[in-house]
Amino acid sequence: MRVLFVCLGNSCRSQMAEAFARACGTGIWEVESAGLMPAHIIAPLTRHVMSEKNIDLGDQFPKPIEWVRPETFDLIVNLSEYDLPQEIGVPVRTWNIRDPIGQNEKVYRQVRDEIERRVLALREELRSSGGPG
């Protein structure tokens, strides 16, 4: 199972989701993240709040969705506020999660914790069903 997490800048939400999925999903899925309009860097507060969960984003960096070939995934989780192109032809789930960019640490933590809950729930769903359903 290949899962792609997408947000606008690939600087906060999708990076968090990818990192949680990597940390908890060994043997369940392969994951990547991308952005519709990627930023130049991962937001420093993203790295900071993820380090509080003992997750290091390492050499991850924002990348455009075209670089990861979205049509090769089994499921795309869209964390942006924007629709993805229909021609991708992959099942898409939308998670309406606030964009923390420009907000304070408290907001980043709230977003991080919500993404963690959703990633864990998705992992359990896929583990029990064997697919994106």
Q: Is 55 domain-assigned? A: yes
Q: Could you tell me the pLDDT band of residue 85, with boundaries at 50, 70 and 90? A: confident
What is the rounded CA–CA span in Å between residue 84 and residue 13?
16
Q: Answer whether residue 37 is part of any domain.
A: yes
pLDDT band at residue 132 under the 50/70/90 scheme: low
* In-domain check, residue 133: no
Instruction: Indicate which CATH number applies to the domain containing 64.
Output: 3.40.50.2300
pLDDT higher at 132 or 39: 39
| Containing structural domain, residue 6 | 2-128
Q: How far is CA 128 from CA 15, 35, 48, 107, in A?
A: 25, 29, 33, 32
pLDDT at 99: 96
Separation CA 20–CA 25 (nearest Å): 8
Q: What is the pLDDT of residues 54-66, one digit of tens each?
A: 999 999 999 999 9
pLDDT tier at 26, thresholds 50, 70, 90: confident
